Structure 1
């Protein structure tokens, strides 16, 4: 079985909305408000090297697809298989992208043989659904020292089941960012 890893930039109050840009009022909060420390982003390169597929929700796909293919630092993501969970998307244009229509199809994808993990970026609604369905195996969280007050949150689903986590890696950086990697305990 392929592990499904959720990787997020998250504010102290749980917001994951538009960390790099977009229409959210605080868009770009990870790079505009926090001093850059290259060491804090080491995990992002590691994720890209270890991932075998990228899984996105429709909103994240719509935001990433026009931008990431033009960025050299995302060459591995651009080459690998990408899956978008959507009931409406047809004819995705990003290279090597397939559409999944349900969480059952995501579960089947996890069961397929394949190299590397399935990595989920962004996609708050998708992550909440994956977590509620018991499909998440690990969280990679870069927690930023900022309170945003509003926006899409990582854990906003009141119907989500209680989930126990085990901290397997952590680090703190000079700019206040903290890395926390958690395995889901089953």
Structure 2
């Protein structure tokens, strides 16, 4: 079985929407404007790229990242080259991004479950709030990589589903606090 990892920038109050400046959110770009830059806080991003074998994305995040990451070869070389799986009921094959590696469309959470149950290395999910909620609700997430920013945003898409779910215990396996107040928290889901 493959490990399914959710990685996210989140505010202290759990908002994960538009940390890099994606349009349409009134606090877009909050991860860049809320703290001083400390490269140590982002080292996890390099290790994620080295460890992941494929990305699983929702349609909106796929289209958003796909508009930028292919041109940032130095920062995202391994992500650009690795296979991508997009969970979408509406995305058509002719809408896939040219030149951004092998991409397959998945139509259901059950297809993600089959992918996770197969052989291979870790699958990593970036952004993709709706997808993350569905994965939580179906208990398919194995690990969370969170960078928690010392900011309260109030409204916005939340990392965690608001559905009525059974208790899900997490085990903290790594953490750090950086000079700019960002906290790294890595949790394994206890089954």
TM-score > 0.5, shorter chain as reference: yes
Q: What's 2:12 paired with?
A: 12
Distance 1:105 1:141 in 2: 25
Q: By how many angstroms is 1:26 displaced?
A: 0.8
Q: What's 2:46 paired with?
A: 45
* 1:56 corresponds to 2:57: yes
Which of 78, 83, 86 is equivalent to 1:84? Answer: 86
Q: Structure 1 residue runs of 4+, over 4 Å off?
A: none
Would you say the 8 A contact 1:128–1:160 is kept in 2? no
Would you say the 8 A contact 2:86–2:106 is kept in 1? yes
* 1:105 corresponds to 2:111: yes
TM-score (norm 1): 0.97
Q: By how many angstroms is 1:178 displaced?
A: 0.3
Distance 2:51 2:6 in 1: 13
* 1:159 corresponds to 2:164: yes
* 1:73 corresponds to 2:75: yes
Which of 101, 104, 120 is equivalent to 2:125? Answer: 120
Distance 2:144 2:32 in 1: 21
Instruction: Structure 1: give runs of 5+ residues left out of the alignment.
Output: none
Distance 1:158 1:130 in 2: 12
Distance 1:161 1:118 in 2: 24
Aligned-residue Cα RMSD (Å) equals 0.9
Would you say the 8 A contact 1:170–1:180 is kept in 2? yes
Q: By how many angstroms is 1:160 displaced?
A: 3.0
TM-score (norm 2): 0.94
* 1:131 corresponds to 2:136: yes
Q: What's 1:30 paired with?
A: 31
- Equivalent pairs counted in the alignment come to 185
